[in-house]
Each structure stands twice: as structure tokens, then as C-alpha cells.
Structure 1
């Protein structure tokens, strides 16, 4: 019986920590959307920027961890089953995205290159002080596209190992 209580409170603590992390990620998304107006450098995907991604991730993590926390605390089977189903779906989504990224690597590379070129042309047309121009000034401080691509390719193994570890933890 004491082992089950230990498991119950461990699950409560872990999910509470994830709840706080999810709320922090959501807060970071709000901060980035109000502070940085140039987060989207892809003209055809302007709604898919970093701030919106952080909103979605923060809300999802907060909701799932709340289900796990409350389900463990109240020992409610329905909440716990919902929690584990959502975690399973999250793991499937992560694995699917990882497989699609590996499968369509060349197409994604050419899409990103095309979008960045279109965004650069748009920034040239806006003149100094436009949102795209500010974004391009920030990107050029960290290097150009080929340098960024090289960094990603060099860290591909580490990224794959990280995805496997995250899926194992889930």
C-alpha cells in the first residue's frame, strides 16, 4: 500500500513540475509575441511562427499535466486514462514528425531555402525598419542559411537521440 502512495505522490509532483513548465512556455510565447514582431520569416506561413508554436505547446503541456496531476491526486481512473491516451498520442505525433522530417528532408530543405529567399526579397522592398528587415538583421548576426544548415546537419545525431530519450521518458 505504501508503494502505491509513493507512486501517487511522485506522479503528482512530476506533473506539477510539468504544469509549471507548460505555463512558463505559454508565458514565453506571450512575451515573444508582444516583444518580437518579426518572428515569422516565411511569407507563406506567417501564422506559423515561434510565438504561436509556444502558445500551442504551452497549453497542451499544461492541460495534459493537469489531467495527470488531478487524476493521480484523486485516483480518478477516467482522468488517468485520458492522461495516458494524450501522452500516447503525443508520442505518436513526435515519432511521426521525426519520420516525416527524415523522409522529406530534401523537400523541406528546398522549401525553407525558397521561403527565406522570398522573405529576403520582401525585406528589401520594405526598406529599413520593416518587420522582415528587423528579422533578417537578427538572423544575419547568427550566420547565413548554409551555416545554419551545417549546424543542424552536424547535430542530427544528437537531435535523434534526444527524441528517442523524450519518447522513452513519456
Structure 2
């Protein structure tokens, strides 16, 4: 997708430069000024692609997979896609199955609609036995998957304890 955006920006820039080259000053002052203003946008788009730090839609990549892209995650993400049972996030008596978690947020499945930027308060029950009171805001909705960003990060120690618990549980099943 990013490659396509870069290609489109280069084509847009090329069209503007070709028009200026072939028609030159016969376009008139205001038109030439407009072309120079329009030339800024491909550069801004390209720079935005280079400095973006969080992916918008591609959240389903397991932790073990290294993606070769310009966008990198800022925190370790613990994925529960091959693990059963999964941790749960409980909000007002409703239980949601957690898909992955990091120190700054989690992704869970919701059967009903939640609103973007909706604030949630609930309890997170991890597999290692930890129970955490969580406050956060919905930052992503994709199909029935909800991305929740915590109001306050949870401890790296909690994530590490959960990671070790999952590894030891998988070893004992094998």
C-alpha cells in the first residue's frame, strides 16, 4: 500500500512538472503559483509515510513476524491467536475475549458496536492470574475487533510475567 502511495505521489509530481515544462510562462502567473503550491503535497505525503509510528489498519501481525516496512511498533505485543482460553476484558458485566495486549493497549473482540473514542473502564483478567483495573479509549474499530489504548500504561513486568506463563503453559502441553 505504501509503495502505491509513493508511486502515485511521484506520478502527480511528474504531471505537474511536465505541464510547467511544456507550457511554461504561457500558463500565466496565478496558474504557475498554483502548480508550485500543489507540488508541496506529494512531498508532505512522502514525509508522513516516513515518520508515521503506529499502523492504522494492519494490526493482525503476530509478534514473532518481523515486517519490513517504514512503520515499527513502539511496544512489545503479546498475541493470543493460538492460545485457548484467552484472557478476558470485563466491562459492566460484559466479557470480551482479548486477542493481543501490550503495555499501552489491547485488542479484543466485541459482538456489539462500540464508538470510536468511547471511554471504557473495566477489569483485565490475564492467564497468569493477574487482575488489572483498566481505563482506556477506543482508538480503532475494524469489523468486530476493537483497539483500546490504556489511559495509563501497564507495567512491563506484568507483560513479561504473562509472556513467561504462556511459554511455560505451551511447553507443558507439548
- Whose strand proportion is higher, 1 or 2? 2
- Of structures 1 and 2, the one scoring higher in RCO (CA 8 A, sep 6+) is 1
- Give me the TM-score of the superposition, normalised by structure 2: 0.27
| TM-score in terms of structure 1 length | 0.28
Structure with greater helix share of residues = 1
